[in-house]
Chains A and B, each alone.
Chain A
Amino acid sequence: MSKVLGRFAAAAAIALAGMAIPAAAQEPIKLGAIYSVTGSYAVIEDPALKAARLAVKEINAQGGIKGRPIELIHYDGKSTLADIANAAQRLVHEDQVIAIIGVADSGFYLASAPIAQDAGIPYLDTGGTVPNLPEQIGEFAHMMPFGDDYQAFVAADFALNDLKAKTAFLLRDADSDYTRAIAMFFKQRFEEKDGKIVDESSYHTGDTDYSAHVTKIRSLNPQPDVIYAAMNPGDDATFVRQAREAGITIPIIGGDAFDNPDLVKNAGAKNTADVYFTTHMALTPNSGADKFIEAYKAEYGHPPENAFAGLGYDSVYLMAEAMNKASELTPKAINDAIFTITNFAGVTGNANFSDPKRAPDKEVTLIAVKDGKFDLIGNRKP
C-alpha cells in the first residue's frame, strides 16, 4: 500500500514539476481593465474593451512581452461610480495587476485613479478628455486621448485658416462639462487670433426644439462665418437638421461627439453638407488605420463602432510598448517607461507622452461630412 502511494506521489511530483517549469516561464502579465459594458456608457466603452481584447490577442500571437503573454483582467464598471471604484480596488488589491487601462469619462477616471495612484500602479485613461487629469491625480496617471483644449484649438484654427472665418456663433450644451470646456477653449483660441464671437447661446441636453437658437442666428446681420456647436451625441443631428431646414447654410463645426453614425442618419445626408468635426481617428479607408479596422472586422464581424475602439486598441499597445521598454516588469518601471515614449504611432494618431501633467501631445483628426460620408481632412496639432 505504502509502496503504491509512494510511487504515486513520485509520479505526481514529476508531473507537477514538468508542468511547473513552462508555467513559470510563461506566467502571464496581468493587465487590468475597467470598461462599462452595461449601463449608459456601454455604447462607447464596449467598443474600447473589444478593441483592447483584440490588441491583447495580437500581441500574444506574436509572442507576448519579453516572452510572457498578457492577461487582460476586465471588470464591468456598470456606468456607476461605486462599481468603478470597487473594480479599481479589486484589480489593485485582489488581482494585483501591474498596470490598468480603462474608462471613457473623466468623472469615472477621477473616481478610480486615486486608488491606483496610492498603490503605485500606472493607470491609463482611455477616453476621458479633461486636459489635466494626470495633474489632478499624480505621477501614475496617464491619458490616451488628446485634451479638450487640443480639439477646440484645432477647430478654431481650421475655422480661421481653412474656412477664412472672421466671425463665429457659439452654441453650447450647458449641462455637460465636456461641452462647456470645448466651447470655452474654442472661444479663447478664436478671439486670441483676432476672430470675433458675435453671439452665443446655451441649451440643455436632450432639447428637441432649437427654433429659438436658429431664429437668433438668422436675425444676426451680417451673418456669422461659422457656427461652433459644442453639443452631445443625439442633439447635434437635431440641431443640424433644424438649422439647415430653416435655410442656414453657414458651416457648422463640432467636437468628437459628432463622431457617431446617427449624425447623418437623423439629420439627412443633404443637411450635413458643410459640417465638420474634430475626433480621435478617421474610420475611413486609407486613413492609416486600415489594418486595425480589418482586424476588428475579422474578429467581431463589423467595423469599429466609433473612435473609442481605436483608443482602447491604442491603450493596450501603449502599455505593451512601455512594458517592452521597462527595465523590469514592475509597476514603477513601466510607469517610468511611459514618460520616455515620445513618438507613439497609434491608430488614433502620433502622440508624445512625456508631459507628466497633461494629456499627450497628439494629433487631432479633422473630418468633413460629404454626401453623408465622413471624409478625412487631415491630422493636425494646434
Chain B
Amino acid sequence: MIRVRKATIPIALLLLIAALWLAQSQLNAFYLQVLGLLGINIMLTVSLNLAAGYGGMFSLGHPAFAAIGGYTAAVLTYPVAMKAFRIPAYPEWLLQIAVPFLPALILGGLAASIAAVLVGWPVLRLRGHYLAVATLGLTVIVQVSIVNLVDYTRGALGLSGIPNYANLWWIYGFVVLTMYVVYRLVHSRFGRALRAVRDDTVAAQMSGVNVARTRLIAFTISAFFAGIAGGLLGHLLRILTPGQFSFNAVFIGVAMMILGGMGSITGSVIGALIMTILPQFIIPFERGGSFFGFELPALHGLTQIVTALILIIVMLIRPEGIAGSKELTMRNLVTRTRGPAIRTSVKTSGSEVEAK
C-alpha cells in the first residue's frame, strides 16, 4: 500500500540535517528548547502510536515509561560530586560513576522495557478500556513511588542539576531512529500480525499468530522509545519531577496521537507539531497589549482553549485524526486531490519500491 521513492528518504534526511545545522547556529536558546520539546513529543507520540494505533493497546501508562527511562538516565549521568548528598540511597559503586549520555539513555530505555514486560505480562490480557484503566494505574504507581522514594529521586522537589546533554542532534537523531524502527516494524510480517491482532484477535489466532507474544513485543518496544524520550526530556530541561508524568501528561500524549491519527507515523508528527508549536504562537497574545493596532486584554488560558477547540473541530470533521491511519506522503496528498485514476497509473512507473 505505502510506497516510498528510493530518493525520498536520503533527501529528507539531508534536508533535516541542513535544517538542524541552521537551527543550532542561528536560533536562540528559546527556539532550540521549543524545537527540542517538539522532537521529544514526536518520539512519545510515535511510540504511543505503535502500542495504541497499530497494536490496539490503548495505553495510558506511557508517561510512566517516560518517567522510568528519564529518572534512570538522569541518575546515571548525574555529576558524581552531587550524587552523594542529593541521592544518597544508591549503592556506593553507582554513586562513584557518571555514565556517558548514550549508554545512559539506552539503559533508561531498557529499564522502561523491563517495566513494560513486568506490567504487560498480566495486563495485556485485558482489552479496550480495561487495559486503559490498568495502565493508568501504572502511571499513578510510578508517580507516587517517585514522590516517596526521596533518597532515590529527591521526591516531589524534583531531580535538578541534570547535565544539559540533549541538543537537537541527539533529539532528532532519536526521532529519526524511532520513526524508522516503528515504520519498518509495522510494515513487516510482525506488523501485519500486530494489526491482525488489533482488528480481530480470534482470526489472527486462527491464522497462527501468537497473540500474547505479539502484543507484548510491541508494547515493550513502544515503552523502550518512551523511556528514551523521557531521558532526553530530563537532559533538555535539566530537571525531572513526578508532576511531569502525571494525568496531564497522559492526556496530552493521547491528544497528540488522536489529533494526528491513530496508526500513522507522519500523523504523530503533525499531532506533536500542533500541540507543541502552535501554543508558542498564541502565548504572546495571552499577555494582552496592542497587536496590529488593536488593544487586547490579558487572555490567560487562551492556548488551552485554542488547542481544545482544534481538538474538537478535528474530531468533528475528521474523527480518525488529521492523517487517519494513512501516512502523509507527497503522493497521498496528490492522489487525494486528483482522484483515484492517478493511483493506477503511478503503480506502473518503475521508480519506486514497495516498502513492505
Q: Report which A residues bind B (CB closer than 8 A).
A: 37-38, 73-76, 78, 80-82, 85-86, 89-90, 92-94, 106-107, 110-111, 114-115, 119, 130, 136, 174-177, 180
Comparing B92-100, B153-161, B170-178, B340-348, the segment that makes contact with chain A is B153-161
Q: Which residues of chain B are within 8 angstroms of A136 by Cβ–Cβ distance?
A: 160-161
A114-B29 Cα distance, complex, nearest whole Å = 12
- Determine the residue in chain A with the shortest Cβ distance to B237: A85
- Determine the residue in chain B with the shortest Cβ distance to A111: B239
B30 interface residue per 8 A CB criterion:
yes
Chain A contact residues: helix, strand, loop or mixed: helix
Q: Which residues of chain B are within 8 angstroms of A130 by Cβ–Cβ distance?
A: 157
Q: Which residues of chain A are within 8 angstroms of B33 by Cβ–Cβ distance?
A: 85-86, 89
Which listed residue (A73, A81, A93, A174) contacts B29, Cβ 8 A?
A: A93
- Determine the residue in chain B with the shortest Cβ distance to A46: B300
A2-B327 Cα distance, complex, nearest whole Å = 58
Which listed residue (A111, A176, A180) contacts B237, Cβ 8 A?
A: A111
Q: Report which B residues bind A (CB closer than 8 A).
A: 28-30, 33-34, 37, 144, 147-148, 150, 154-158, 160-161, 237-239, 241, 243-244, 248, 280, 283, 286-287, 300-301, 303-304
Q: Are A177 and B287 CB-contacts (below 8 A) given A82-B244, A94-B30?
A: no
- Determine the residue in chain A with the shortest Cβ distance to B86: A136
Which listed residue (A75, A78, A80) contacts B287, Cβ 8 A?
A: A75
A130-B157 Cα distance, complex, nearest whole Å = 9
A347-B154 Cα distance, complex, nearest whole Å = 33
Q: Tell me how far the C-beta of B37 lies from the nearest C-beta in chain A, rounded to whole angstroms.
A: 6
Which listed residue (A37, A73, A90, A92) contacts B300, Cβ 8 A?
A: A37
Which listed residue (B156, B158, B160, B248) contacts A80, Cβ 8 A?
A: B248
Which listed residue (B155, B157, B301) contacts A110, Cβ 8 A?
A: B157
- Can you give 14 contacting A-B residue pairs, CB < 8 Å? A90-B283, A92-B29, A92-B30, A106-B157, A107-B158, A107-B160, A110-B158, A110-B160, A111-B239, A175-B156, A176-B155, A177-B150, A177-B155, A180-B150
B30 touches A86 (CB 8 A): yes
Q: Are A93 and B157 CB-contacts (below 8 A) given A76-B286, A174-B148?
A: no
A90-B30 Cα distance, complex, nearest whole Å = 6
B156 touches A81 (CB 8 A): no
B37 touches A110 (CB 8 A): no
Given A37-B301, A85-B33, A180-B155, 13 more A-B residue pairs with CB atoms under 8 Å apart are A74-B287, A75-B287, A76-B286, A76-B301, A81-B243, A82-B37, A86-B37, A92-B30, A93-B28, A111-B239, A130-B157, A136-B160, A175-B147
Q: Which residues of chain B are within 8 angstroms of A38 by Cβ–Cβ distance?
A: 300-301, 304
B280 touches A107 (CB 8 A): no
Q: Which residues of chain B are within 8 angstroms of A78 by Cβ–Cβ distance?
A: 303-304
Q: Tell me how far the C-beta of A302 lies from the nearest C-beta in chain B, rounded to whole angstroms.
A: 18
Q: Are A111 and B155 CB-contacts (below 8 A) given A81-B244, A89-B33?
A: no
A93-B248 Cα distance, complex, nearest whole Å = 28
B144, B160, B241 — which one has the most chain A CB atoms within 10 A of its CB? Answer: B160
Q: Which residues of chain B are within 8 angstroms of A119 by Cβ–Cβ distance?
A: 29
- Determine the residue in chain A with the shortest Cβ distance to B240: A81
Q: Which residues of chain A are within 8 angstroms of B243 by Cβ–Cβ distance?
A: 80-81, 107
A175-B157 Cα distance, complex, nearest whole Å = 10
Q: Which residues of chain A are within 8 angstroms of B155 by Cβ–Cβ distance?
A: 176-177, 180
B156 touches A176 (CB 8 A): yes
B287 touches A110 (CB 8 A): no
A78-B304 Cα distance, complex, nearest whole Å = 9
B150, B157, B158, B248 — which one has the most chain A CB atoms within 10 A of its CB? Answer: B157
A115-B30 Cα distance, complex, nearest whole Å = 10
A74-B34 Cα distance, complex, nearest whole Å = 18
- Determine the residue in chain B with the shortest Cβ distance to A133: B160
Q: Which residues of chain A are within 8 angstroms of B34 by Cβ–Cβ distance?
A: 86, 89
Q: Which residues of chain A are within 8 angstroms of B154 by Cβ–Cβ distance?
A: 177
A93-B37 Cα distance, complex, nearest whole Å = 17
A115-B283 Cα distance, complex, nearest whole Å = 19
Q: Which residues of chain A are within 8 angstroms of B144 by Cβ–Cβ distance?
A: 175
A107 touches B157 (CB 8 A): yes
A75-B28 Cα distance, complex, nearest whole Å = 18
Which listed residue (A81, A90, A180) contacts B241, Cβ 8 A?
A: A81
A107, A110, A119 — which one has the most chain B CB atoms within 10 A of its CB? Answer: A107
Q: Tell me how far the C-beta of B249 lies from the nearest C-beta in chain A, rounded to whole angstroms.
A: 9
Q: Are A111 and B158 CB-contacts (below 8 A) given A38-B300, A86-B33, A94-B30?
A: yes
A3-B171 Cα distance, complex, nearest whole Å = 59
Q: Which residues of chain B are within 8 angstroms of A107 by Cβ–Cβ distance?
A: 156-158, 160, 239, 241, 243
A357-B224 Cα distance, complex, nearest whole Å = 40
Q: Lowest 6 A-B CB distances belong to which pairs?
A: A89-B30, A110-B160, A93-B28, A177-B157, A93-B30, A107-B158
Q: Which residues of chain A are within 8 angstroms of B287 by Cβ–Cβ distance?
A: 73-75
A174-B350 Cα distance, complex, nearest whole Å = 67
Q: Tell me how far the C-beta of B133 lies from the nearest C-beta in chain A, rounded to whole angstroms.
A: 20
Q: Tell me how far the C-beta of B160 lies from the nearest C-beta in chain A, rounded to whole angstroms.
A: 4
A89-B35 Cα distance, complex, nearest whole Å = 12
A174-B287 Cα distance, complex, nearest whole Å = 37
Q: Are A75 and B283 CB-contacts (below 8 A) given A107-B239, A111-B239?
A: yes
Q: Which residues of chain B are within 8 angstroms of A86 by Cβ–Cβ distance?
A: 30, 33-34, 37, 280
A175 touches B148 (CB 8 A): yes
- Determine the residue in chain A with the shortest Cβ distance to B300: A37
Q: Tell me how far the C-beta of B273 lies from the nearest C-beta in chain A, rounded to whole angstroms.
A: 16
B238 touches A114 (CB 8 A): yes
- Determine the residue in chain B with the shortest Cβ distance to A176: B156
Q: Which residues of chain B are within 8 angstroms of A82 by Cβ–Cβ distance?
A: 37, 237, 244
- Determine the residue in chain A with the shortest Cβ distance to B30: A89
B29 touches A89 (CB 8 A): yes
A82-B70 Cα distance, complex, nearest whole Å = 14
- Determine the residue in chain A with the shortest Cβ distance to B34: A86
A82-B244 Cα distance, complex, nearest whole Å = 8
A85-B233 Cα distance, complex, nearest whole Å = 12
- Determine the residue in chain A with the shortest Cβ distance to B32: A89
Q: Which residues of chain A are within 8 angstroms of B158 by Cβ–Cβ distance?
A: 81, 107, 110-111
A75-B285 Cα distance, complex, nearest whole Å = 10
Q: Tell me how far the C-beta of B299 lies from the nearest C-beta in chain A, rounded to whole angstroms.
A: 10
Q: Which residues of chain A are within 8 angstroms of B237 by Cβ–Cβ distance?
A: 81-82, 85, 111
Q: Which residues of chain A are within 8 angstroms of B157 by Cβ–Cβ distance?
A: 106-107, 110, 130, 177
A90-B154 Cα distance, complex, nearest whole Å = 28
Q: Tell me how far the C-beta of A374 lies from the nearest C-beta in chain B, rounded to whole angstroms.
A: 27
A37-B37 Cα distance, complex, nearest whole Å = 22
